[in-house]
Each structure stands twice: as structure tokens, then as C-alpha cells.
Structure 1
Amino acid sequence: MTTPLPLHELDDLPGHYIRRLQQIAVGIFMDETQEMNITPVQFALLFAASQQAGLDQRTLAGRIGLDTSTIGAVVDRLESRELIERKVSPDDKRVRLLSVTPTGHALLQSVVPAMLRAQERMLAPLPADERSQFMGMVKRIVEENNGWSRAAKDAG
């Protein structure tokens, strides 16, 4: 005998809608940036690395909320496209410091307008006066639940 689940529809679950929203956000980003051949995670990594040259992979992973095992593969792909470079740290030979190359900076500059269009499209269903309220709520949910992530974002 099976016990019925205590819910009526997947549509009643915030996790279901959050997962769907993430799929939609990636789809819109990829649609807007298809000519640039960049993913949302690659964009986040390049953008964060461009803000402070010489960060190590672990610190950069913490800044963008990416697990340390995944960041290596993302850096590998960006390095193979000559968008980012790794250099051995003078302080610790086991640590690799990341810098965005001139080609990477040029790609970032070209991606920004498309990325901003994607953000606008994601929020388009909301009236303009509700967008900041929505973003405030999403940020609060993410920040207050950050510790539950397999790749918690560093506060700094």
C-alpha cells in the first residue's frame, strides 16, 4: 500500500520553480550570447577574474559560488581559448594565479550588451516597479541559504 504524497502539484513547490527559472535564465543567456560562444559560468568567471587579476582558483571559485572541482574544467576551457592564463604563484608553487588575457577582456566587452539584454528579458514579465523587489527577495533567499550550497559563495 502506498501512502499519498502530501502535495498536489509540482507547481506548489518553490524548488521546482527555482530549477525552472535557472533553466530559463541559462536559455535566455545562451540565446543572447550565442555568437560569442560563452556560458553563464564562463562569463561569471571571466568577469570576476577581470575585477582582480592574480586571484587563485579557490578564491575565484568562492567569489562566484562555484565548487573547486568544477572551476578547474572551466578554467581549462577558457585557457584553451586564450581568454585566461594561469601562472604559478611565486609564494606557493602548488597555487595557480589567474589573469584575463587581452582576448578575454575583448570578449567580455563584446558580451556585456548581450548579457544585459538577457537580464532584461529574464525580468521582462515583471512590471518595472516590481523588479527590484523580486531581486531583493531572490538575493535574500540565496544569501540566507548560502551555507546549504555545495559551492557556497564567500561573503567577501
Structure 2
Amino acid sequence: MEAYGMAGHLIRRLHQISTQVFMARMRDAGIDVTQVQFAAMDAIRANPGVDQASVAALIAYDRATIGGVIDRLVSKGYVARTVSDRDRRAREVQLTAEGARLFDDLLPLVRGLQDEILSKLTPAERETFVALAHKTINNNAT
């Protein structure tokens, strides 16, 4: 098949594999967090008090749907949302104490599953893969 040699098809397949591994490891750990929720928590942890629109930009996610991601994190007790003092239309977010504890527990788990996703690559190949992925993303950033 032609698709087997096409970057788009291969990227889609890698995304499927990554999602499958991530969700399986979360299920095994008894944690109800998606990849996007993890990325949002990471952005919020690194930028306390960030507004929702900036979270979307930081994780390259759709601004129109980031509110739903944040809503789910708030309902789980992992994130607190407040109205911005600078712009009453903006909502600022920060990890709750429970969210910070969960993130600290999640980080080694998520780091570890990266090895599982790329298990057939040598350490040098993994480094090259990540570098090439970064280069491709940066060259296609909008």
C-alpha cells in the first residue's frame, strides 16, 4: 500500500499507538486522565495562574475546546479556575494541591511509557526521532 510509506499515515499510526499505551497505563494505575489533560496540567504547573487560552496555545490545542478539558480537570478536583483580575473575561487556572500531587505521581509514569512507545528504537534512535519530530513541528507551526 502507498500509505505505508507516507509520513501522514505513519504519524497517525504512531498517535494511535501512543494513545493506546497512555490510556492502558493510566487504566492500570487507576487514574482517569487523558493525554490532553496531562499536557494541560503540565502547562498549568509550569505557568501557575495562566489563562485558559494560553494553556491551549502552550499545548497546541483548540481554543474553542480547551474549556471542556479544563472543566473536566476542575470537576476532578485537579485544577482551580478563577476570573482574572486583569481581564474579567479571562479565566486563570492553577493546579490544586491534589492536582499537584497527582501530577508528581503521573510524571514518572508518563516518562516511563515513552520508552514503551519507542521500545524498538535504540537510545540514539529515540533521541534522533524526538529531534526530528521537534524540527518538523517547529517548521510547521502556525
TM-score bracket for the superposition, by shorter chain length: over 0.9
Match of 2:100 in 1: 105
2:34 to 2, 21, 39: 39
Residue 90 of structure 1 deviates from its aligned partner by 1.0
Q: Give SS of 2:33's match.
A: coil
| Structure of larger gyration radius | 1
Matched, 1:76 2:71: yes
Structure 2: how far apart are the matches of 1:80 and 1:132?
A: 37
Matched, 1:27 2:20: yes
Matched, 1:121 2:108: no
Matched, 1:50 2:16: no
Match of 1:4 in 2: none
Match of 1:64 in 2: 59
Runs of 4+ aligned residues of structure 1 deviating over 2 Å after TM superposition are none
Structure 2: how far apart are the matches of 1:13 and 1:48?
A: 32
CA deviations 1:92-148 (Å, max 9, x no partner) are 11111101100101111111121112111111111122111111111111110122x
Amino acid at match of 1:82: G
Q: Which has the higher contact order (CA 8 A, sep 6+)?
A: 1
Contact preservation (8 Å) 1:32, 1:117: no
Contact preservation (8 Å) 1:85, 1:101: yes
Match of 1:93 in 2: 88
Residue 9 of structure 1 deviates from its aligned partner by 2.1
Amino acid at match of 2:20: G
Using the size of structure 1 for normalisation, the TM-score is 0.86
5+ unaligned residues in a row in structure 2: which ranges?
Answer: none
Q: Give SS of 1:146's match.
A: coil
Q: How many residues align?
A: 140
Residue 36 of structure 1 deviates from its aligned partner by 1.1
The alignment's C-alpha RMSD in Å is 1.0
5+ unaligned residues in a row in structure 1: which ranges?
Answer: 1-7, 148-156
Residue 69 of structure 1 deviates from its aligned partner by 0.9
CA deviations 1:21-56 (Å, max 9, x no partner) are 011111111111221111110000001101121100
Amino acid at match of 2:89: R
